[in-house]
Amino acid sequence: SRKSWIEENFCKRECVKFIPSSRDLHRCIPICQVCQSLIRCCCGRLMGEHSWQESLPPTSLCPGPGQDVEEDWSIELHTKASPTNAYGTVDFQDTATRVCRAKYARVAVDSKAELLLQLMLREWQMERPKLLLTIQGGSENFTLPPKVKQAFTKGLITAALSTGAWILTDGINTGVSRYVGEAVKTFGSHDLRKRNTVGITPWGVIENNMDLIGRDAFRPYQPLGNPLSKRACLNGFHSHFLLVDDGTLGKHGCQQGLRRKLEKHIQIQKIHPRLNQGVPVVCMVVEGGPSTVSMVLEYLSNVPPVPVLVFEGSGRAADLLAFLHKQTAADRIGDVFGVDRAEASHLYNLLLKCMDHRQSVSKTCFRVWHIGIRHIEYSHSTKSSPAEQLSMALVWNRADIAQKDILLYGQHWQVGSLEQAMLDALVMDRVSFVKLLIDNGMTMSRFLTVDRLEELYNTPHGQADRFLHHLVEDVKQTSLPIGYRLSLIDVGLVIEYLIGGAYRSTYTRKHFRAAYSHLQDKVGIDRRRNSSTSLSKQIRGLKQNSRSLQDLSGNNTLSPGLVDPLLQVSFNFNDLFVWAVLQQRQQMALFLWQHGEEALARATVACKLYRSMAFEARQSSIDDDIAERFKSYSLEFGQLAVDVLDCAFRQNEQMAMKLLTSEMEAWSHFTCLQMAVSSCHRPFVSHSCTQTLLTDLWTGPLNMRKNSFLKIILSLLLPPAILLLEFKSKAEMCHVPQSHEAMLFGLDSAKSVPGHQGTDYMMFYLAFLMLFSYVILVKMDDQPSVQEWLVILYILATAMEKTREVVMSEPRKLSHKLKIWFSEYWNMSDFIAILLFLAGLVMRWHADPYRTAGRIAYCLDIIFWFVRVTDLLAVNKHAGPYLTMITKMTSNMFFIVVMMAIVLLSFGVSRKAILSPNEEPSWVLARDVVFQPYWMIYGEVYANEINPCEDNDSCPPTSFLTPFLQAVYMFFQYIIMVNILIAFFNNIYFDMASKSNKLWRYNRYRYIMTYQAKPWLPPPLIILSHMTSCLYKSVYSTSFNTSLPELYLGHEDRKKLHEFEEKCVQAYFHEKSEGPQSNIFFSNVFLTRVEEMCMVMGEVSERVNFIQDSLSELDCQLGQLQDLSVMAVDTLTLLSASDSLQQEEARLAQCRPVQASRHILPHSWTLPHRNGADSDVPNMRLLMTKSCKSTPPSLVKGYTLFFIPEIICLFFWGFDNLYLSFNLHVVLTCVCVFTAMERNNLMRLAHDIPFTPVSILGEEVSIYSLEEVPCNADPESNTVSSWSSRGLSAMLQPLFSEEGSLDGGLRRGCRVLCTWAERDVLRPGHIYVVKAFRPEVVRAWQRYFHGSTALQLCLREIQQQRAAQKMMQVFNQVKPNDMQHSPRFLDVSLVLWHSNGQWLTIEKNMCGHFRKYNNNTGEEITPCCSLEEMLLAFSHWTYVYSSRELLVLDIQGVREELTDPTVIMADDHSRGEMLFGPDNLGHAAITGFLQKHSCNVCCHRLGLTGQSYKKNPIL
């Protein structure tokens, strides 16, 4: 059992002797409890944590007499091995996204590697590795860059899954193992067998390792460790764990030795049973410390060296190895690892040794993972031969590597290496490699030999191999011995058995059997069964020269398949295609179907083979899944055949019909149509192309469109009237096949019309039935009458025709001929009818009673002949489906009839026994049992016999039971069983009605082909046709058979037909490639490439930013150096003048007063302002300091200051005492006059930095915004709103959309797109709305504002929106918390349009349904939601909060984003100035609001009452 095997072969280690880790000997005797809790053993455990079952704990830590004071702890001397007690399954608890479980086992550090591999393969059932990826790196947590992490995790799992690799890590939840676990979590599989991520972890460092103790246990594990603990948790996304136990606790590194032994043992295992190569091992280095460098050196020093993939960019050891791979340097070692100089020198030597194996080290970054593991695989096999490299890529199933790195032009190959690669690819079912080798010149005629083909058939392939042996046993009717090797003759028998009919395989024909027997005698039967070396391999072994890949496409005079002159068999894709079908390799079969000729034929052959295999699987009671799989494969190839036929029919109808009827020499001279009919492929037969061909076959050369129905009837009745008919030309009939008789005798067009033949046969048959009916209805004389002689002649002629059909059929054996002939139902019916008639005819010549028996035989025989008429109706479009329904009902009603018979017998026997207790033994009893109960099914209840005692006759005992039994019988039989039968028939009817059209078309083929193969004269005149054929045969010595008509083409015509078929296949795949599935595929490829390009662009962007930052830093440093140089020059100048009067002059020159000049204000900013006295020097200095606050110190010195008064609108806001002030301030603006150094610096930057001008769409504008600045004048208010001192530039492009008009009563609006903005004053790429006052509004307000009227109106519009915004902020703070909405007003800025000097306002564009909740006259909407109630209540709240001075109306916007409010102030105009916009209606608006406003729920919750304000003194 697994339990005993694991415990017998694996052990654990426990420390049995306490050796203190501290050299300071403790002398407490006995050892106190404090010492036991402080002093640890060299194994890492305290004294109490040791197991003292076999010895006593030490009483003193002092060494005894004769003992070594400094005894070193070792695993061999101080630990004891015992059977492992921890193995089973661990269930990780914190992985909520998926169920993560892993197998684990606690093993000793000295365990054998072969036992560990056996544990993983046999007990844990892991798949054999094809590649071993061992991950080395940092064990502590470190951070990978996001892009490096994403590429590493995705690339690692993609590489592992594509090659079937094992991944070995430390298995802990820190360091590089954690990143591997995240990769498995994100991209890995749920199946443990497919994950194959093995963690080799020290037992002593695992957190909560005692929870894992148990034999074959299922242990939950919580991978959340104590942050203060030095132990580590297991990573929950590994599939298997080897917990290495060396007896220590809390010590890392003990697993490395066992891990290396396991890696070396796996490396010597075969990568595949067919190959002699070992499993490749690749080491990956991600980050890492000093121990990682030693590990890399160990890998590189191995023989052969293990390839090391260093992941550049991950940090520390990996970066150093990557750097040293390019250049050697020891300066950074101490800084990177934080070690002293001696250890850094040691690491330097180790790194140099690693670089001695430079050819085995691969420096890579995360971009390498976008091509999978190609770099790893190629670096591993650089020293291998091309054949070995190709074999390795074949095992990994990486055709992309083989194409790009191995199968190169000019590569030389050993003789036979590519043939062996093709054989391995076929055996391993590597479709991509087979395609690659074929594309590079491999030909089937060179590759396929008898030996190789038999080797393919005898390669074990699981269920497919067993099923094929089962078919051979069915064919041979014997059991095959164990180890039996299939021959091609056995395969041929299986093919004939599956296809059936008269099909003969190439492998079973006489010439092949003779050549095959000769080859067996030459090579030896025993050698062929015990050795896989073929004769062709021996011949190739005699050759010494090698040939290159491009030579494969050249001509070769000696083919390996034609070694012996007797075996003149040329194998091709057909043989390989049949092998793929019989071996159930569907993808390989689909690929091989595309190559070679006769693609349509191969599709129908595969459909037939799979259909027959599905039938055999059901008959043999094999797994139902196999039968269903065969059925699905058959349908897939059947649909493929229909699609190709449809594509061909759309391109060229005549060529498509030639494909149906041209004989296929490679397929036993069958036609595609015959093969489709034999496989019951109804969609193929009912296709328009097939039906058009059948119509042409039925009508022959007769042109039905130009001949009326009366002409045709007249020609049937009067043969000379045939001359009146019109016929088709030979060009129109080139695609129609002809029978052998028509070709041999050159029959004219009228005689070769199957439609005429069918009509003639039908007329003669009806006449025969009339004569036969007359014969049996009248008195039979001693001698046959004329009518009877005609009937006898007709039936004898029919018997001769049936005999000829059997004798002239294609199979060689008579038993096979009869078997095929009797497989047809009507042939069986005709045989019984003829046999019964001949028996009656023999008895008819004798006297009575034999003559009477003969007459009775006649009477029964005519039934079969009348039933035969239904076959004539099968071709009818309306009657045919009904006949099919009757046939299906009759064949499927068997079990229901059996159940009805059981009920009938149960009632009939009991009834007869009760009513007739005194009957004597007689056969009449059997009739009486079923006679009356049978007729009761149809409603005859025999009412006068229900009560037998009614006539007072002798009444049998218990006769009263019969009425009760009859009632029960009638209920079950008449009501239940009969209705079940009717329902069953009804189900069949509706099922068949849906297929009636296809059934009719399918039966139409059989009917037409039947008359196509018949002689041109009906019975009894058919004898004349046979006599003519025999005469022609004797004269011309020509033989012919009765096979179905085929289209015989010459070599050139056949070549053209194959070219046409190949074009149709290509067109089909082209149409398929443009379908939705291909679009999805190309979309996925496009998305992958876009992701790759995004990663590359991101990397480029990071590098550009880094370069820019570096240049900026360098520029700053250069500027500082220049500042220092200027200061040094100034200092030297001052020092030189210290002894003279020039020192004072220099000081005065440097401290000359700053001059100020006043500039005239712009005309548009003219407002009442303070006088010049207000602009005193301290205020100027204060303003100068504020304005130059962000200026670097290096640029402050040496400025010449100019005072430029500008208009600044300061908006002071206080909510306790609300007031507005609109003042002018003279603001100090610094105009910098740079020093020479700074001027040179700017000039250098302007000339040296390359600049490519970019054209930006739009028009230039300046944006002025309101900014919040600290308020010193009003201590109660924290900030005030102040206009910016200068405008920021932006580029705006007007948009003309159809979203809706933005115009209002006072202003017009337009949407604009921001294409560029300075300092993010606007967001480029976003849409904004600019608004300008209408000209008539500006003209109306010019009497109030004599300067820039538009500017003043815009300033006041912005000012009132800021006021409403401030009040909304306070409203959102004081409203109840359960009022969830938080509306806000948009920010508005001032815009100066440079092109026309126009002033506008700008705000963010709102998307959505725009609503207006009230207007500036006080009218409001009826609220329908909580948001609308809140906004209406906000207007009410502003009136209350401002002490009845302000009222915010005209609230409008999209959801919670609002804009364009109106702040109503009753005395705005009475003060002689306008603080807010021109839409302020003052007292009238407040009155209208108080009258029209209806307080809602929000008003009441805010404590607002509307009634008290009607008496307001202000109003």
Using one digit for the tens of pLDDT, what is the confidence trace for 1245-1276?
A: 555 554 444 456 788 899 988 877 776 655 55
Mean pLDDT of the region 838-851: 89
User: What does the pLDDT read at residue 762?
Assistant: 81
Q: Label residue 1242 by pLDDT band (50, 70, 90).
A: low
pLDDT at 525 over 60: no
Find out whether 1460 and 1452 touch, Cβ atoms under 8 Å: yes
User: What does the pLDDT read at residue 770?
Assistant: 93
Using one digit for the tens of pLDDT, what is the confidence trace for 449-507?
A: 888 888 899 888 777 778 888 899 888 888 888 888 899 999 999 998 898 877 888 88
Mean pLDDT of the region 662-686: 86
Q: Label residue 848 by pLDDT band (50, 70, 90).
A: confident
Q: What is the DSSP string of 1008-1062?
A: HHHHHSS-SS-TTTHHHHHHHHHHHHHHH------PPPBB---HHHHHHHHHHHH
Distant-in-sequence, close-in-space partners of 165: CB < 8 Å, separation ≥ 6:
129, 130, 131, 132, 133, 159, 196, 373
Find out whether 1294 and 1312 touch, Cβ atoms under 8 Å: yes
User: What does the pLDDT read at residue 1330?
Assistant: 92
pLDDT at 528 over 70: no
Least confident segment among 129-138, 527-536, 710-719, 1293-1302: 527-536
DSSP 359: G
User: What does the pLDDT read at residue 579?
Assistant: 93
User: What does the pLDDT read at residue 1297?
Assistant: 66
Using one digit for the tens of pLDDT, what is the confidence trace for 418-460?
A: 888 888 888 888 888 888 888 877 777 778 888 888 889 988 8
Find out whether 947 and 914 touch, Cβ atoms under 8 Å: no
How far CA 1041 is from CA of 742, 818, 1045, in Å, comes to 12, 16, 10
Find out whether 752 and 1045 touch, Cβ atoms under 8 Å: no
Mean pLDDT of the region 92-104: 72
Report the percentage of the chain scoring pLDDT > 90: 14
Using one digit for the tens of pLDDT, what is the confidence trace for 888-902?
A: 888 788 888 889 899
pLDDT at 298 over 70: yes
CA atoms of 1165 and 394, how far apart (whole Å): 83
User: What does the pLDDT read at residue 555?
Assistant: 37
Using one digit for the tens of pLDDT, what is the confidence trace for 167-192?
A: 999 999 889 999 998 888 876 655 55
Report the percentage of the chain scoring pLDDT > 70: 73
User: What does the pLDDT read at residue 993?
Assistant: 76
Cα angle 270, 271, 276 (rounded to 5 degrees) comes to 50
Mean pLDDT of the chain: 76
Query: If we measure between CA atoms, which residue out of 701, 712, 705 comes closest to residue 738?
Result: 701
The amino acid present at 314, given as its one-letter code, is S
For residue 1271, give the 3-state DSSP assignment.
coil
Count of beta carbons in the 10 Å neighbourhood of residue 301 = 13
User: What does the pLDDT read at residue 524?
Assistant: 61
User: What does the pLDDT read at residue 550?
Assistant: 34
User: What does the pLDDT read at residue 1278?
Assistant: 63
Would you call 1494 exposed, middle or buried from its count of C-beta atoms within 10 A (0-12, 13-18, 19+)?
exposed
Would you call 262 exposed, middle or buried from its count of C-beta atoms within 10 A (0-12, 13-18, 19+)?
buried
Q: Where are the beta strands (DSSP E) in 514-643?
A: 547-548
Using one digit for the tens of pLDDT, what is the confidence trace for 59-90?
A: 555 555 555 556 778 888 888 888 998 999 99
Using one digit for the tens of pLDDT, what is the confidence trace for 1077-1127?
A: 556 666 777 777 787 788 788 778 888 888 888 888 888 888 778 778 878
Q: Label residue 1207 by pLDDT band (50, 70, 90).
A: very low
User: What does the pLDDT read at residue 1075?
Assistant: 61
Find out whether 1402 and 1391 touch, Cβ atoms under 8 Å: yes
Mean pLDDT of the region 521-542: 48
CA atoms of 1460 and 1449, how far apart (whole Å): 9
pLDDT at 258 over 80: yes
Higher per-residue confidence, 511 vs 949: 511
Instruction: Please list, residue by residue across 63-78, b when 16 or more beta carbons sit within 10 angstroms of its beta carbon and e when fewer do.
Output: eeeeeeeeeebebeeb
Using one digit for the tens of pLDDT, what is the confidence trace for 595-631?
A: 888 899 999 999 999 999 998 888 887 777 888 899 9
User: What does the pLDDT read at residue 618?
Assistant: 87
Mean pLDDT of the region 1193-1211: 33
CA atoms of 1462 and 710, how far apart (whole Å): 96
Using one digit for the tens of pLDDT, what is the confidence trace for 17-26?
A: 877 776 555 5
User: What does the pLDDT read at residue 590?
Assistant: 92
User: What does the pLDDT read at residue 1208?
Assistant: 30
DSSP 1396: T
Q: Label residue 831 by pLDDT band (50, 70, 90).
A: very high
Using one digit for the tens of pLDDT, what is the confidence trace for 1430-1469?
A: 998 898 899 888 888 888 998 999 988 999 898 988 765 5
CA atoms of 1283 and 1208, how far apart (whole Å): 6
Mean pLDDT of the region 986-991: 84
Catalytic residues: 1450
Query: If we measure between CA atoms, which residue out of 1433, 1424, 1474, 1476 comes closest to residue 1451?
Result: 1433
Distant-in-sequence, close-in-space partners of 26: CB < 8 Å, separation ≥ 6:
20, 35, 39, 61, 62
DSSP 239: S
Q: Where are the beta strands (DSSP E) in 706-865?
A: none
CA atoms of 141 and 139, how far apart (whole Å): 7
Using one digit for the tens of pLDDT, what is the confidence trace for 1115-1165?
A: 888 877 877 887 888 778 767 766 555 555 555 555 444 333 333 333 333
CA atoms of 1342 and 299, how far apart (whole Å): 90
Using one digit for the tens of pLDDT, what is the confidence trace for 2-37?
A: 557 888 889 998 888 877 776 555 556 556 656 666
